[in-house]
Structure 1
Amino acid sequence: MIRSLRVRLMLAAAMLAVIFMLATLPALQGAYSLALEGAIEQRLASDVTTLISAARVEDGHLMMPLMLPGEQFNLPDSRLLGYIYDRNGQLVWRSRATEDENINYHPRYDGTGNEFAKIKEPNGEEFFVYDVEIKLLGGRNAAFSIVALQPVREYQVIIAGLREKLYLGFGAALLVLLILLWAGLTWGLRALKGLSQELDQVEAGSRESLSEEHPRELLRLTGSLNRLLLSEREQRIRYRDSLGDLAHSLKTPLAVLQGVSETIAKRPEDLEQARILQSQIERMSQQIDYQLQRASLRKSGLVRHHVSL
């Protein structure tokens, strides 16, 4: 069982901070993933627009220039892939980077306009696909599906890097937060430490009551303790006075017994009884003197420890 209030509060705050961060991390990752997917969709849409602007229809056939305005379509090792299909799903054009790729994608010319999706190949590789259907090309009737693809692994690398940075950032933030919490709890619990010091002084007898220079939340406690100390002090005074009265009231009977003992001691046959009576009188006198001395102590304070002699 943890007996330190500061440690308890620190552990509770640390648990809440960890739970909050663990709940926040997936939300941040999801928001960033959606934003990144939106950026990829816009980029692929721009790349498809580049293909559309470069395409021409002559005698019912699609004509594409050898060098496209978008440089990435002209590079053989580019990760941006471009395809053009007719309305029957037949491939009529592909970019240079697709020569070493075998993408199993079959567009559906169903009038949906454009579509952004994610596909997975049999070899396990995934691609982002942006498919746009066109009916007019250069002012002439045309029916083509223009497709731009980008590998998902680049997106996954970015997400993995972001996740690592988030973990590192949240870990550093958690460490700073714990340090600030420890400092704040130390400052906030200073009032309890001051109260504990005053209680030690009361127990040692160096002060009679607690001060009122404490936070409002502790004033009720300090007021109750002061009333308790006052009640204990008054009870101790009554106890001292009662002991004093009792001791003084016993002094006279003891003096009478002392005289009787001395009278009895003059008779030889009662000498033993007189000796026993005298020892008991002395013992009672010692007890009365001890109680009088104990009652006269005014600055004894509260007893903290008992040590057997």
Structure 2
Amino acid sequence: MSSKVLSLRRRLVITAGIVLLVFLGATGLVLDRSFVRSAHTAQQDRLDGYLFAMLASAEFNAEGMLVLPEPMPEPRLRRIDSGLIAFIVRDNDRMQWRSQSMLGMDVGDVSVVEAGLWRSSRLVDRGSTAFAARSFGVTWVADDESERAFTLTIAESERGVNAPIQEFRANLWAAFASVSLLLVALQGVVLSWGLRPLKGFAHEVQALEQGTRARMHDDYPAELAPLANNLNALLDRDEQQLARHRDALSDLAHSLKTPLALLATVRTDNHDTEKLLTQQIDNMNRIVEYQLTRARSAGPNPRTVRIELLPVAKKIGDALSRLYHDKAIDLALDVSAQDCVRVESGDLMEILGNVLDNAFKWAHSSVRVSMEESAIRIDDDGPGVPAGQREAVLRRGERADEQVPGHGIGLATVASIIAHYGGSISIEGNPSGGARILITFPT
């Protein structure tokens, strides 16, 4: 599988993270805009309230100018740099009154507003201070019954609104960042819990491949249970099919043994014919024995579990020591209890039985069995196998010494069984001059 393919967990984390960012970002923007509108609306309402207070307290002075008497209705209008200013403009665009808080300020040209109308505007003084302003146009009846148009304006520094907005934004995004981290952590916990059955399923499949278990559990959630059941059914069918194939091959080989036994009793006056017949019957017997051995071999199976090498080697070694007791072979088992191979027990018995039998047969005094990683080594101190004959010995019907009894199918059978498991067998020399059989199984 390509390393570029994202895992399900990573896909879910990335997808949920994107959704989370989009959702929280959109929510934050909506809240931000709502707060800004609310702050500006509150400021506008506040300025309108100040204007109504100005209208209620405004009066003409001795010079006939519309002014606000002391004390002013809003204390901030009396303080310089308070952030709140007010002024009154005549219909000739001339400013005839300003609050004390406008001392030293110049907000530029101002214009009148028609009577009864409201206007919102933005003013900037020479010090670059921006003000949000509200103006209202009125018509005032003087004592002489004449009507005069005025525009009352009150403005508040934008700092009064921007500061709370900035504070709100800082608190908002800090809170959202904290919530995001919390949700990401919770999301990780939820995903780990939710994907745990899938992870367990993958581990069980891997255990099947490694031979540490034979079946899948049946306690998976509803989404995975059918898959586990189908996999178990597939394993059962595969095992049954292998059993049928072995039985069929065994039946075929057994069915040939009786006719061959009868043919072996046939005698003829022609010596050459009898010799040829005997040779062919012997060849056919070897083939039957070879096929019977293959039938007994279980071969690779997804449900094959790992078995310990030491008990099997010890059992076979004890039997061969009794069989070759006259040779007094010293068998050394340099194998630990943790050394295991993923082979059916019957096949391992067949493999070690044939190889150790050959080792005992040729050894002078000692045989040694050892294991390094996934390789089994069988060493003997016999004459060894010439380099030119090592490949031939592993072929069916070939023997290193025709004087030694046997059909020449033992190591060939071993090679066939090992090949079924994807392993290999080779013959080498060892330091003592004897033969070394090296058997390797895939891990």
Shift of 1:200: 4.6
Matched, 1:5 2:8: yes
User: Which region of structure 1 is more displaced relative to structure 2, 174-183 or 288-297?
Assistant: 288-297
Match of 2:90 among 86, 90, 112: 86
Corresponding letter in the other structure for 1:56: E
Match of 2:153 among 147, 151, 162: 147
Query: In 2, distance between residues paired with 1:258 and 1:194?
Result: 60
Shift of 1:296: 9.2
Per the alignment, residue 240 of structure 2 pairs with 234
Cα gap change, 1:148/1:241 in structure 2, threshold over 3 Å: closer, same or farther? Answer: same
Matched, 1:52 2:55: yes
Tell me, yes or no, if the aligned pair for 1:10 and 1:182 is still in contact at 8 Å: yes
Query: In 2, distance between residues paired with 1:174 and 1:297?
Result: 52
Matched, 1:27 2:30: yes
Rg larger for: 2
SS in 1 for 2:103: helix
Shift of 1:192: 1.4
RMSD of aligned Cα (Å)? 3.7
Shift of 1:132: 1.7
User: Which region of structure 1 is more displaced relative to structure 2, 163-172 or 193-202?
Assistant: 193-202
Cα gap change, 1:8/1:299 in structure 2, threshold over 3 Å: closer, same or farther? Answer: closer
Per-residue Cα deviation, 1:66-119 (whole angstroms, up to 9, x for no partner): 331311001122111111112332111111121121102423322352222334
Query: In 2, distance between residues paired with 1:3 and 1:278?
Result: 62
Shift of 1:280: 4.7
Please report the TM-score for the alignment, with normalisation by the length of structure 1: 0.80
Query: In 1, distance between residues paired with 2:302 and 2:88?
Result: 102
Which aligned pairs between 1:113-128 and structure 2 lie closer than 5 A? 113-119=117-123, 125-128=129-132
SS in 1 for 2:224: helix
Query: In 2, distance between residues paired with 1:11 and 1:138?
Result: 74
Corresponding letter in the other structure for 2:113: Y
Query: In 2, distance between residues paired with 1:13 and 1:220?
Result: 28
Cα gap change, 1:121/1:99 in structure 2, threshold over 3 Å: closer, same or farther? Answer: closer
Identity %: 25
Please report the TM-score for the alignment, with normalisation by the length of structure 2: 0.58
Per the alignment, residue 135 of structure 1 pairs with 139
Per the alignment, residue 377 of structure 2 pairs with none
Which aligned pairs between 1:56-205 and structure 2 lie closer than 5 A? 56-58=59-61, 60-119=64-123, 125-136=129-140, 143-200=149-206, 202-203=208-209, 204=211
Query: In 2, distance between residues paired with 1:186 and 1:293?
Result: 46
Tell me, yes or no, if the aligned pair for 2:88 and 2:95 is still in contact at 8 Å: yes
Corresponding letter in the other structure for 1:171: A
Query: In 1, distance between residues paired with 2:264 and 2:129?
Result: 115
Corresponding letter in the other structure for 2:132: F
Query: In 2, distance between residues paired with 1:112 and 1:257?
Result: 132
Structure 2 gap segments, 5+ residues each: 306-341, 344-420, 425-439
Matched, 1:251 2:254: no
Query: In 2, distance between residues paired with 1:257 and 1:147?
Result: 130
Corresponding letter in the other structure for 2:99: S
Tell me, yes or no, if the aligned pair for 1:128 and 1:152 is still in contact at 8 Å: yes
User: Which region of structure 1 is more displaced relative to structure 2, 45-54 or 143-152?
Assistant: 45-54
Shift of 1:164: 2.6
Tell me, yes or no, if the aligned pair for 2:116 and 2:138 is still in contact at 8 Å: no
